[in-house]
């Protein structure tokens, strides 16, 4: 903050000073609003802009965070000197090699992290995505050893305070979730997740979690109201002791918080919501209007914190930047985009209090982009 001289000859008029102060406060509030929101950038399409074009879009929109699910040289090169913070993923098919060999871990960090320092601002390394015992035992056994080997290399390089090592999980890892205070990890995954939580706590790293109220609603329409899933309920839906839940997103995030709190050291581990969103086609209630409503209201809610963590903004990433026409798992998976391939918005959405984006750009806001490959 500038300090004004006692000499008032060249000082700005009081009205102008007041205006400047209000402007500074406004920009600060916009920064808080937007800084928590990310947008996932999936690449499984044959009509998408190049990584350089997309990074240019981030910069023109004042986007300062990105998440790559796997190293991508085009994107990493484009990120140089961009001042965009980055979450970089270790792909699931590379976990075994990194877990079994410190040399492989060192080579991975050298090639994909150190080669781009200091011009690329790495924030997290996400070691694996949505791996659970039982679903994929062949990979689950390698998650923690790979995290440890990556951490060892990061620490040896003196980067442990700059770059945190984590893994991305998702809601099926939880057993009890209702009400949120009883949230806990499934009994059959505790031997997998407990040492991971200890690792995160000892290294000051967050747990990345993919949280989708849409899927909870889709598979339980009998018990879950659409308005509760979309942030539009006019009143509290779930009363959990002294805490009232008016939307499902808060309830799901706090179920993760409750699960963590039941573990030694887990209460110090933060949650970063690494994916959430609402599709526009291909399934139940998949309309452009519903997607616009969910994502717009999400942006406003994450800055407030949950009932369990009030006032503590939630770092959250919307899925996705573009529709991905080459996804093959289901039609639903192809229609999560905020933007058309020509970089124009699919629907108006406001990332700040300044109003909806109508040209693919936002003003005075920090966004984060996830490159999903």
Supply the residues annotated as catalytic: 130, 275
**Matching residue, tokens 């308005």:** 227
Cα–Cα distance list, 77 to 74, 88, 344 (Å): 5, 14, 24
**Matching residue, tokens 């609003």:** 33
For 41-68, b/e burial (b = at least 16 CB within 10 A) is bbbbbeebbebeebbebbeebbbbbbbb
Element (H, E) at 370: strand 367-372
List the beta bridge partners of residue 339: 322, 345
User: Coil, strand, or helix at residue 237?
Assistant: coil
Cα 254 to chain centroid, rounded: 16
Helices (H), 231-312: 248-261, 288-301
Cα 303 to chain centroid, rounded: 13
User: Coil, strand, or helix at residue 204?
Assistant: coil
Element (H, E) at 367: strand 367-372
**Matching residue, tokens 């009994």:** 187
Environment class of 166 (CB within 10 Å of its CB; exposed 0-12, middle 13-18, buried 19+) = buried
What is the rounded distance in angstroms from the CA atom of residue 319 to the CA atom of residue 210?
A: 10
Q: 327 — phi, psi (to 5°)?
A: -70, 140
Environment class of 182 (CB within 10 Å of its CB; exposed 0-12, middle 13-18, buried 19+) = middle
């Amino acid at each position: 903050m500038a300090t004004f001289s006692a000499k008032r000859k060249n000082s700005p008029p009081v009205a102008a000073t007041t205006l400047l102060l209000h402007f500074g406060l406004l920009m600060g509030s916009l920064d808080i609003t937007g800084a928590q929101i990310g947008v996932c950038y999936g690449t499984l399409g044959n009509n998408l802009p190049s990584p350089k074009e997309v990074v240019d879009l981030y910069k023109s929109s004042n986007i300062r965070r990105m998440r790559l699910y796997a190293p991508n040289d085009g994107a990493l090169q484009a990120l140089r000197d961009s001042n965009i913070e980055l979450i970089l993923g270790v792909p699931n098919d590379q976990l075994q090699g990194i877990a079994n060999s410190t040399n492989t871990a060192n080579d991975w960090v050298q090639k994909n992290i150190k080669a781009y320092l200091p011009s690329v601002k790495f924030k997290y390394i996400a070691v694996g995505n949505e791996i659970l015992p039982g679903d994929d035992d062949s990979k689950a056994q390698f998650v923690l050893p790979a995290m440890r080997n990556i951490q060892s290399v990061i620490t040896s390089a003196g980067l442990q305070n700059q770059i945190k090592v984590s893994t991305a999980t998702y809601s099926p890892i939880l057993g009890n979730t209702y009400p949120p205070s009883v949230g806990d990890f499934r009994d059959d995954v505790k031997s997998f997740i407990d040492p991971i939580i200890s690792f995160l706590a000892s290294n000051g790293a967050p747990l990345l979690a993919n949280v989708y109220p849409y899927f909870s609603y889709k598979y339980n329409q009998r018990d879950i109201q659409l308005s509760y899933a979309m942030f539009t309920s006019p009143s509290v839906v779930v009363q959990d002791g002294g805490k009232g839940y008016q939307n499902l997103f808060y309830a799901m995030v706090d179920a993760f918080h409750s699960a963590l709190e039941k573990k030694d050291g887990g209460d110090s581990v933060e949650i970063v919501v690494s994916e959430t969103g609402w599709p526009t086609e291909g399934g139940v209630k998949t309309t452009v209007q519903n997607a616009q409503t969910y994502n717009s209201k999400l942006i406003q809610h994450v800055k407030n914190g949950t009932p369990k963590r009030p006032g503590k903004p939630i770092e959250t990433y919307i899925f996705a930047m573009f529709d991905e026409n080459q996804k093959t798992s289901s039609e639903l998976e192809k229609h999560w985009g905020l933007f058309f391939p020509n970089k124009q918005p699919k629907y108006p959405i406001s990332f700040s209090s300044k109003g909806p984006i109508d040209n693919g750009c936002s003003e005075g806001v920090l966004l984060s982009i996830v490159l999903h490959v």
